[in-house]
Amino acid sequence: MYSEQNPARHYIALTLVWLLLGAALGLHFPDVDTRFQWLISPRLLLHRSAVTHGLIVPSLLFLSARAKGKAPSFRSFIIGFSLASAVHLCFDFFPRGWVGFALIHVPLYGRTTALFSQAWIMLGMLVCLYLAFLLVRRLIELAFGAGILAASFIVSAAEHAGPVLNALALLLVAVGALVTALRFRKPASGLTR
Ligand SMILES: [Zn+2]
């Protein structure tokens, strides 16, 4: 319950709730076509569409989160969404084979090649992680973000029987590459407590 005497605790709780909500959606949104087959026409959205699997939706959300006047809760939601989307893509990078529904589908074009699909998923994963990092303003968000990434991975691992170790290795490499790249970037204005 909100307490006037402890706004910091209220802020932390609110941040965590929105991060978790974003993560819950981001983890499963890419496969929205399979979960709502009865609602979504295959002509509109096929499985592993480039629209749902990759950088398009997280980028649009990122741009709207950066718009003036957006509440911090919305930013937390997008951080959670982007991190969980990255984890989803991480697992999707290891299908049983790069054929059929494993390939990225581009509306009006059709299924792409295995190489394009791999590159698209990899790019989407890196962009999702990067956008989430760009939205982080406070140390507590960074800490929660790391926790959300780990929790999303655990949930995905429970849902996917197969490529857990491969997905973990890929995620660690992606995070490591991003952290290394960001070290060469001009120092940000700084995280606040
Ligand atoms: Zn997927």
Ligand 1 centroid – CA 43 distance (Å): 18
The count of structural domains within the chain is: 1
Does some domain include residue 16?
yes
**Cα 191 to ligand 1 centre (Å):** 33
Answer whether residue 2 is part of any domain. Answer: no
Query: Are the beta carbons of 20 and 77 closer than 8 angstroms?
Result: no
Which residues make Cβ contacts (< 8 Å) with residue 176, sequence separation at least 6?
A: none
In a domain, 192, yes or no: no
**pLDDT tens string 129-174:** 999 999 998 888 899 999 999 999 999 999 877 789 999 999 999 9
- Find all residues with CB under 8 Å of 77, minimum gap 6, and list them: 18, 19, 21, 22, 65
Residues around ligand 1, an ion, CB closer than 5 A: 30-31, 92
Asked, for residue 1, whether it belongs to a domain, the answer is no
Ligand 1 mean position to 53 CA, how many Å? 6
On whether residue 105 sits in a domain, the answer given is yes
Q: Which domain holds residue 12?
A: 7-183
Query: 76 CA to middle of ligand 1, Å?
Result: 23
What are the tens digits of pLDDT across the range 5-54?
566 778 788 889 999 999 999 999 998 877 766 666 666 678 899 999 99
65: which 2 tokens?
A: 């989160």
Cα of 178 vs centre of ligand 1, distance in Å, is 22
Residue 54 CA to ligand 1 center (angstroms) comes to: 10
**Does the residue 190 lie in any domain?**
no
- Give residue 49 CA to ligand 1 midpoint distance, Å: 9
